[in-house]
Amino acid sequence: MSNEDKDFSVNKIKEKYNFIEKSSFYTIFKEFDWPCNHHLYMIGNATCYPDEHSKLTGIDDVDKLLKTLYSNLYRVYYTIENNQNDYFDHNQYEVKKMGCIYLKYWLYDHITSKNFSEPQITEFFKGINDHIKPKISSFKDDYCKFNKLTLDEIKRLKKLYAFNTILYAGDKNSVNCNNSECNYMDYFEEALLEFINSIKNCSTNPSEKEYCNEFKDFLKICYENNTYSGIAVYNTYKGNIDNTSKKYLLFAEKYENEKLYAYIKDNTWLNWSKIDHIVNPQKRTTIAATSVVGSAIGLSSIFYYLYKVYLNHILKYKYNAIINIYFNSKFLF
């Protein structure tokens, strides 16, 4: 079965990795499915769409999702602007930082799980501008921007959100798949490729403006020291391994005329040897993945090195010396 035919919904992934279900991310994600008049909400029907029985686009599934999106946007915007715990109990600060990204992950998960067609997707994004944003204008700012995406672009972004979530949620757990089958590993390999290619393509290819706007929003939550992101990006080199924040250099690449250094948290559940063919230049030729544009170019062999160092701590300083020489010659000049 190809990846196109598999179920990559959040609920399916959490069945294989139960630490996701226990995470604050999933607590927030699950609340997006609550009805607008949930009994725990103290403000009654405040988050319900003003005219709940109205026809918006004439497509029932699209109208239902639009009205649910309105409810969730209201909860996220309200939480961003207030300090009360009316919504997302005990997770308000995380919603302030990650609410829009989590909501987009939830939205794209629903669109793909419900098998929306391209015409339905077009109507949905049109409906956001025509029927949702005008109704939610009472807040100080429009915090969550939505771009008109195709189904393929939605799937690509969904992979990035999944990859970031698994790195963030997995960092707090000792899950290790080095000795067992890694479920969805090929999907996360594709996400890694998508992340690399998006960095490159969005710097050079203006034809994917809507997708690249969404990708830029994703990058914003990765910058500097966002504790809720599994990926960290910097505009300055932080060293090969930053032991104080558990950030491991993934790659360095030019993005919008600046050097961007991408780090990930150390997650032992990832089996680095299984993605050696992606990140090791000696073994990589041209890599094609479903829904990924182009090949993965620009990764240093440092990612493969990290796996080796993890297994051979005794050789740590020897490997550091070798990789420092390689990295400095490849990226810093």
20-66 per-position pLDDT tens digit: 888 899 999 999 999 999 998 987 789 999 988 899 999 999 999 99
**Contact present, 171 and 266 (Cβ < 8 Å):** yes
Q: What are 89-141's pLDDT values in tens digits? A: 889 999 999 999 999 999 999 999 999 999 999 999 999 999 999 999 889 99
Q: What are 132-185's pLDDT values in tens digits? A: 999 998 899 999 999 999 999 999 999 999 888 888 876 555 455 544 456 667
Domain membership flag for residue 321:
yes
Tell me: pLDDT of 255 over 50. Answer: yes
- ∠ CA 235-237-241 to the nearest 5 degrees? 130
Average pLDDT for the chain:
77
Q: How many domains does the chain have?
A: 1
Closest CA to 61 of 115, 16, 7: 115
Sign of torsion, CA 119 144 83 29? positive
pLDDT of residue 204: 83
- Amino acid at residue number 109: D
Domain membership flag for residue 185:
no
Tokens standing for residue 192: 């890694």
Tell me: pLDDT of 201 over 70. Answer: yes
Tell me: pLDDT of 262 over 90. Answer: no
Residue 332 CA to residue 261 CA, distance in Å, equals 11
pLDDT of residue 129: 95
Strand order in the sheet with 241-242: 231-234, 258-265, 247-255, 241-242
**Contact present, 51 and 63 (Cβ < 8 Å):** no
| Cβ neighbours of residue 82 closer than 8 Å, sequence gap 6 or more | none
Domain membership flag for residue 237:
no
Residue 264 CA to residue 206 CA, distance in Å, equals 27
Domain membership flag for residue 311:
yes
Domain membership flag for residue 72:
no
Higher pLDDT, 12 or 107: 107
Domain membership flag for residue 303:
yes
Domain membership flag for residue 154:
no
pLDDT of residue 243: 54
pLDDT of residue 20: 85
Q: What are 224-236's pLDDT values in tens digits? A: 678 888 888 888 8
Closest CA to 79 of 71, 70, 88: 88
Domain membership flag for residue 314:
yes
Identify the domain containing residue 320 by its residue range: 298-332
pLDDT of residue 110: 96
Higher pLDDT, 190 or 159: 159
At 276, the pLDDT band (50, 70, 90 cuts) reads low
Higher pLDDT, 9 or 281: 9
pLDDT of residue 261: 86
Higher pLDDT, 221 or 84: 221
pLDDT of residue 48: 95
Tell me: pLDDT of 301 over 70. Answer: no
- Amino acid at residue number 290: T
Tokens standing for residue 48: 């319900």
